[in-house]
Amino acid sequence: MDPLKQTIAFLYHKKGVRPLKRMEMEITLSMDLRWFTLAQSKLVVERAVLSGYVAEKEGLFLPTFSMDNVEIPPLFRPSFEEVDQVVVMETTPDEVKAEIGDPPTKILEKPREKPSKKSLFDRILDHVMKAGGYEKRQVIRRMNELKELDVIPEIRLLILARGEGIDVSEFLNETDERIRGYL
C-alpha cells in the first residue's frame, strides 16, 4: 500500500472527511499528529496534489479516492522518506473529479513512469545524485542530518550540495520564490 495514500486517508478520517484548506492539512500533519515538520508537511501536501490523491476546488481539498479501500495498520506513523515519492496519475475522460460536498471518488491508478513536471525538491535531489554520484538514500540521509537547521528540505539539499562542491546556482531563484510563497 502507498504510504502517501495511507497518510492522506488517515488525515481525512481524523478530520471527518470534509473539505480542508491546504494550511489545515499541513498543520494537522505537523502539529496535531506530529508526524512531520511544517516544511515537510507542506511538501507532503504538495505530493498528494501532484499524485492526484487530493483535488482542489475554491481553495479546499478533498480526497479523490475511496478511503474504504485503504488499509491503515494499527500504530500507523509514516516517515517523510516513505511519503516523499511522487506518482502522477493518468486521467481519462471517464474519470470523475471530486467536487465539494461529493463523497470521495475513485481514480484510475496508472502511474506514469515519469511525472510531467518534477517538483523543485525532486529536481535538486536528481541534480545532487547525478553530480555527486550518490544514491537517493545517501542524499536523503545526509539531508536529514541537517534537520537542526529547521529550514525547508530544498534549502537543506542546497546546503548539502554546496558543501560537496556541487554547483546548484540554477535552483537558487526558484528556491527563493518557493520560500517567499511560505511567507
Q: Which domains does the chain have, with CATH numbers?
A: 3-83 (1.10.10), 120-182 (no CATH)
pLDDT at 87: 44
* Cβ neighbours, 10 Å, residue 148: 6
pLDDT in tens, 121-150: 888 989 999 998 988 888 888 888 888 887
Report d(CA 70, CA 76) in Å as an integer: 12
pLDDT at 75: 84
Report d(CA 183, CA 43) in Å as an integer: 15
Is the torsion defined by CA of 10, 15, 17, 19 positive or negative? Answer: negative
Q: Is pLDDT at 73 greater than 50 in this prediction?
A: yes
Q: Is pLDDT at 111 greater than 50 in this prediction?
A: no
Q: Give me the phi and psi of 69, to 5 degrees please.
A: -90, 0
Q: Give me the phi and psi of 54, to 5 degrees please.
A: -135, 150
pLDDT at 96: 40
Determine which of 8-17, 35-44, 111-120, 123-132 has the lowest per-residue pLDDT on average.
Answer: 111-120
Q: For residue 153, what are the CA distances in angstroms to 52, 75, 81, 85, 179? A: 22, 26, 11, 14, 11
Report d(CA 37, CA 147) in Å as an integer: 9
Report d(CA 49, CA 104) in Å as an integer: 15
Work out the average pLDDT over 73-96. Answer: 61
Query: Which of 102, 90, 93 lies closest to 17 in space, CA to CA?
Result: 102
Bridge partners of 21? Answer: 60
Highest mean pLDDT among 38-47, 84-93, 102-111: 38-47
